[in-house]
Amino acid sequence: MKNYLSINDIDSLPKLVEEAKNLKKNPKANVALGANKTIGLLFFNNSLRTRLSTQKAATNLGLEVMVMNFGNEGWALEYEDGTIMNQGTSEHIKEAAQVVSQYCDIIGIRAFAGLTDKEKDKAEVVLNGFKEYASVPILNMESSVGHPLQGLADAITIDENKTKKRPKVVLSWAPHPKALPHAVANSFIEMMQLQDAEFVLTHPKGYELDPKITNGVTIENNQEKALENADFVSVKNWSSYANYGKVLNQDESWMMTKEKLGKAKFMHCLPVRRNVVVNDAVLDSEQSIVIQQANNRTYAAQIVLKKILENL
């Protein structure tokens, strides 16, 4: 694997999931692989799971880890070519990416969508800027349009918990007071297209995602109908895509409850707002597999880093 920028960088999801599950049994088995190599993790946005699980994964592989909260500690970067930099930006991505490439053998980037300029977010200026100007592999730790490490962790978690070859998996929108990006939902959908599963996407009208990502996906606007006989229910909020970055409603009737969940396993990428997105009874029940899901972030990152290291 050269870079891990999106779910599209996965050759075979079943094989990668199997390999990740093997790593989980013996996490330090490849500790020599990263010896004398360094990964730099650059965070333009907050994190708990991604930051700690990626560090843990890198350490398990013997990598040295450097972490930088770029968003509030780095120089403000310029991404446009030919700009007269007499305003707020202090350093161009061309220099920054080349400089970091001298210190690190792999660069991880977290840079969320701004949700104000759809075209700018779609262009993935931070992730693609590093991809273009860095001379080392790039790891996507959640970008404007995708969160492929989360998608892979979700696939591992479904595989560990499924009781039938072809489970029914539902991704449901849920209410939230803030405008959230589309990245987690996008990668979940892309990952589901590589899974042997019956997949249904449910959301209120107005919350349609990028049609390029949902092309061919079963979409059911009636949440109750979508949830019928589900084996796994993954819940996530996202803001409107058509009315870009807007919160159209906070319809409480879309919050996940024990009654709606039925016998399904409950999934969420976390962090989650209790009693807004999902009620306590779900999160505190044995049907919730969110903690296992967060644990699998380590093995998702580790298998991806292992593949990148093997290709160096």
Binding residues, by number, are 47-50, 75, 110, 142, 147-150, 176, 236, 269-270, 273, 297
Q: Single out the residue of 116, 179, 110, 168 nearest to residue 139, CA to CA.
A: 110
- The tokens describing 288, both together, are 């919730």
Residues of each annotated binding site for carbamoyl phosphate: 47-50, 75, 110, 147-150, 269-270, 297
Check binding of 281 to ligand CP (CB under 6 A).
no
Region of 89-97, 193-201, 204-212, 263-271 interacting with ligand CP (CB under 6 A): 263-271
To the nearest whole angstrom, how small is the minimum distance from the Cβ of residue 199 to ligand CP?
Answer: 20
* Helix ranges (DSSP H) in the chain: 13-25, 49-60, 70-73, 93-103, 118-122, 125-133, 148-161, 183-192, 211-214, 223-227, 258-261, 280-283, 290-310
Footprint (CB under 6 A) of ligand CP, residues 46-65: 47-50
Region of 41-49, 91-99, 122-130, 131-139 interacting with ligand CP (CB under 6 A): 41-49
- Of 106, 185, 269, 272, the one binding ligand CP (CB under 6 A) is 269
To the nearest whole angstrom, how small is the minimum distance from the Cβ of residue 184 to ligand CP?
Answer: 7
Footprint (CB under 6 A) of ligand CP, residues 138-157: 142, 150
DSSP states along 166-207: S-EEEEEE---SS---SHHHHHHHHHHTTSSSEEEEE--TT-
Residue identified by tokens 């807004």 is: 276
* b/e sequence 175-199, b meaning 16+ C-beta within 10 Å: bbeebbbbbbbbbbbbbbebbebeb
49 vs 260, which CB is nearer to ligand CP?
49
Can you tell me the distance from the alpha carbon of 218 to that of 202, in angstroms, rounded to the nearest whole number?
Answer: 9
Residue 65: count other Cβ atoms within 10 Å of its Cβ. 17
Can you tell me the distance from the alpha carbon of 254 to that of 257, in angstroms, rounded to the nearest whole number?
Answer: 9
To the nearest whole angstrom, how small is the minimum distance from the Cβ of residue 166 to ligand CP?
Answer: 26
37 vs 49, which CB is nearer to ligand CP?
49
To the nearest whole angstrom, how small is the minimum distance from the Cβ of residue 77 to ligand CP?
Answer: 21
Q: Which amino acid is at 186?
A: N
Residues of each annotated binding site for N(2)-succinyl-L-ornithine: 142, 176, 236, 273
**Shortest-Cβ-distance residue relative to ligand CP:** 50
- Of 123, 179, 247, 270, the one binding ligand CP (CB under 6 A) is 270
101 vs 298, which CB is nearer to ligand CP?
298
101 vs 302, which CB is nearer to ligand CP?
302
Can you tell me the distance from the alpha carbon of 83 to that of 64, in angstroms, rounded to the nearest whole number?
Answer: 35
Q: Are the C-beta atoms of 81 and 147 separated by less than 8 Å? A: no
> How many residues contact ligand CP, by CB under 6 A?
9
Give the residues lining the site for ligand CP (CB under 6 A): 47-50, 142, 150, 269-271
